[in-house]
Amino acid sequence: MASIDDMIAQLDSGQQRVRDPAQPGRLLLNGAEATRDTPVAAGDELEIGPRWYRILGGLGGFLYPAPLPPQQVTHPVRLHAGLHKCLTMFSRQVYHNAAIARTLTLNWGMWRVPIAKHFHHKVDDFHAGLHRARTQSLSGVALDLDAYDDILVVRFVRDPRDLLVSGYHYHRKGAEPWTRVPSPEPKHFAEVNGGVPEAIRGRGPSLQDYLGAVDKAVGLAAELEFRRPHFRAMMAWPEEDERILTFRYEDILGHEEEVFEVIGQHFGWNRAERAAARATARAYSSGGREAKKGHVRNKAPGQWREELDEALNARIVEEFGPLLRAHGYPET
């Protein structure tokens, strides 16, 4: 049975991490004093110091501490729930242009809200600023939808093993500053809600240097440690909820315009927004003119078959098998 201690261990990454996991401060479970070994169940409300979480029941009985806003959110939330290395830059551009189209049609050229805002993996920033954007984007985190009175969600998902491979090659390049921090601690990876591989945690080289120095099998295993918080979040979203539209990466490629037309209808966009979204999706699609200028190494699905060894695939299947099966991904 999972305990509060298990939830604290999950929170040892990201912006919501417990500042001192050894001394987490006041613990309340459903309003009552608790200890680290107190069992938790789906639906429980957990307070750790100044932060609140709802325990979500995910795939295969998995339990996940979803961060809660300071108070119930009453205004509309239209959220794109994405993942690092899952068409993030592409979707951001589409939402941005759709928001501009709405601004122009409603405000006669005046640059006012609504806007589209990407909060990366920063849940605190999302809760502080979501009221200022018509469309919000948040990556690598699962939410308790009942904390928001009016919320609609679009999820982009991808085979976790392809996310692993894509991230491994991207992080070896050191494309983002946090990958170049030597002897990283969890606070250094908070902006991407990533776990720090044990081999470099608080000592040794940066993630970029480490991945460049070890062989691929070791590097991919370290990348799994980094991606584990993202995969756990994927496990925690409900399989069926009328508020959520879910698209697989593999089903988006080649159908980008159609996908964003459906998204526009789900979010209640006007004609101008939907037209701008379709045009942008076409330009930035896998075969579009703008995509050819991009930073993507390889968009092809199924790369994991050539890059992962059997042992690492078996580890992923053992830990995240329910996730693979839920989205129709083969185990081997």
Quote the pLDDT of residue 221: 98
Q: What is the mean pLDDT of residues 325-329?
A: 97
Is 46 within 8 Å of 55 (Cβ atoms)? Answer: yes
Quote the pLDDT of residue 287: 61
Quote the pLDDT of residue 159: 98
Structure confidence by residue, pLDDT tens digits, 145-165: 999 999 999 999 999 999 999
Q: What is the mean pLDDT of residues 307-313?
A: 97
Structure confidence by residue, pLDDT tens digits, 84-118: 999 999 999 999 999 888 876 655 444 455 588 99
Quote the pLDDT of residue 18: 87
Domain locations in the chain? 4-67, 77-157+239-293, 160-234+297-326
Give the single-character DSSP code of 209: H
Is 78 within 8 Å of 152 (Cβ atoms)? Answer: yes
Is residue 40 over pLDDT 60? yes
Quote the pLDDT of residue 12: 87
**Residue among 220, 87, 206 at smallest CA distance from 165:** 220
Structure confidence by residue, pLDDT tens digits, 212-243: 999 999 999 999 999 999 999 999 999 999 99
CA 298 vs CA 47, 55, 206, 289, 324: distances in Å: 42, 36, 24, 16, 21
How does DSSP assign 246-292, residue by residue?
A: EEEHHHHTT-HHHHHHHHHHHHT--HHHHHHHHHHHHHTSTTSTTGG
Q: What is the mean pLDDT of residues 192-204?
A: 95
How many angstroms separate the CA atoms of 192 and 178, rounded?
9
Top pLDDT among 277 and 293 is at: 277
Is 187 within 8 Å of 135 (Cβ atoms)? Answer: no
Q: Average pLDDT, whole number, for the chain?
A: 92
